[in-house]
Structure 1
Amino acid sequence: MRVQRVLVGEVGRPHGVRGLVRLHAFTADPRAIGSYGPLTDQSGTKVFRITPLPDGLGRIEGVADRDAAARLTGTKLYVERSQLPPPSDPDEFYLSDLEGLAAFAEDGVAIGTVRLVEDHGAGPFLIIDGSAGELLLPFTRACVPVVDVAGGRITVVPPAEVLVRPEAGEGQGAAA
């Protein structure tokens, strides 16, 4: 069985000359990022032990100077899903729990499967693989009004500007 890793933070730029870094935590409590146990890179091969400090800073075990800290800038930090506490409410879930769910339109038509959930700062979005190709969809209540993790499905309402319909004659070999 594949180990599911959940993105919980990212190493920012160095701070000072003694190896401290800016730490971007994606957890509800930013200081809790160090309490989940060892963090890894995306592949799971590099292990990081992090001590969060005030003001969004962090100390990474084994990193003692600015150059070593600079080499880690941009490293995404993951934890095994099993290390995270279970959601306290039946309607709560981790964004990574959406991966693999079937996506359906409001009328019940199958759209595809959620391949990935990403967030580049403007809010999370879903990458859905379907028969029409890849669909990028903002993860908002308007676009994803129903999430049923236990049932393995979501209901999606893509904004009109996301749906691109072919023009008349497009895709049908035109005569020369």
Structure 2
Amino acid sequence: MKRVIVGEIGRPHGVRGLVRLRAFTADPRAIGDYGPLTDEAGTRRFAVTAMPDGIARIEGVTDREQAAKLTGVKLYAERDRLPPPVDPDEFFLCDLEGLPAFSEDGAKLGVVRAVQDHGAGAFLVIDAAAGELLLPFTKAVVPVVDVAGGRVVVVPPAEVVVPPQPGEEAA
């Protein structure tokens, strides 16, 4: 099951177990509606109730010490629990995983394995016949994202040489 990051637990707020919460949802107070939320590994579950001003209550957390242990935990929701994007040109980055990647001339280059973002911008990780490709996720490098059609078109930078997969053409 695909999961999407929807928030991050911040530092404790007060002594009764409340936390600061950074919600990445359109409505920050609705973050608990997509639950139960999990940590990055998917092993811990959290029932979150968002309150005004970026504060939240996490079920079972009753004091500052417990809250402090959760600082920095990223919260994930299952993809199918989130509403579909309103704009057809919008998508979740996890929706790109598994899509075939084609060159502008229609040659299949590989399959998107992951989208990673380490703070300097997102990158597509593509499993290609020649090995793993790591391409910046910019409009210049990825001019076409067609989630409904099940494909992305990539234009690798000039310094990246990508041989097409043998015998594969665009569908």
TM-score norm. by structure 1 comes to 0.78
Distance 1:134 1:27, change over 3 A: farther
Per-residue Cα deviation, 1:127-169 (whole angstroms, up to 9, x for no partner):
22222322222222222110111221101123345x279xxxx
Q: How many residues align?
A: 162
- Separation in structure 2 between the aligned mates of residue 73 and residue 45 of structure 1, nearest angstrom: 17
Which position in structure 2 is the counterpart of 1:36?
34
Which position in structure 2 is the counterpart of 1:135?
133
Residue 107 (structure 2) pairs with residue 109 (structure 1): yes
- Separation in structure 2 between the aligned mates of residue 7 and residue 127 of structure 1, nearest angstrom: 18
Higher relative contact order (CA 8 A, sep 6+): 2
Structure 1: give runs of 5+ residues left out of the alignment.
166-176
Give the letter aligned to residue 73 of structure 1: T
Distance 1:57 1:137, change over 3 A: farther
Structure 2: give runs of 5+ residues left out of the alignment.
163-171
- Separation in structure 1 between the aligned mates of residue 68 and residue 127 of structure 2, nearest angstrom: 36
Distance 1:27 1:123, change over 3 A: farther
Deviates more, 1:110-119 or 1:15-24: 15-24
TM-score norm. by structure 2 comes to 0.80
Query: Which consecutive segments of 4 or more residues in structure 1 shift more than 6 A?
Result: none
**Equivalent residue for 1:10, pick from 8, 11, 30:** 8
Give the letter aligned to residue 30 of structure 1: P
User: % of aligned pairs identical?
Assistant: 72
RMSD: 2.3
**Equivalent residue for 1:22, pick from 5, 11, 20:** 20
